[in-house]
Structure 1
């Protein structure tokens, strides 16, 4: 079964993206796509399920998407849609512009 996840950067809708994943993929697959979308220049990524509040923080990147969003109906081949919000810190490096404080 496939699952559709829309990832939204907190307060910056320009980075909103929708991708399909296998229901058995780990949360890390979502994080990997987010990092690639930002040119792998991010670290300390934070994730929230459905809405941004303390009770919806997603911490375990090895957790399967099926345990986060449920297995869906058995025998149902249609995709289910969900949302993950994210925020991050820029990767520390030698770029004076990105590391300006």
Structure 2
């Protein structure tokens, strides 16, 4: 479970019955991706990472978020628990219990 950010996503290589895919439009999420790539380039000297950063305006529009349906539901359940005033482990347990009901 987790979120993947895929450059030039190809549906032919993905079991879409288990995951949701969305083109990225959120500026903050794109900023996080850019920051991850910057760290990757600084640690590894990746030529591809440098190429992506050098043309970020173009490449940033080519990322797709891939998230397992169950993981997305769990994140929603955690957010609902937070709205009810639960925090920390209580929120996680409430979210887990809610996911067992479905």
TM-score, normalisation: structure 1 = 0.30
Flag the structure with larger Rg: 2
Give the structure with the higher percent strand.
Answer: 1
TM-score, normalisation: structure 2 = 0.30
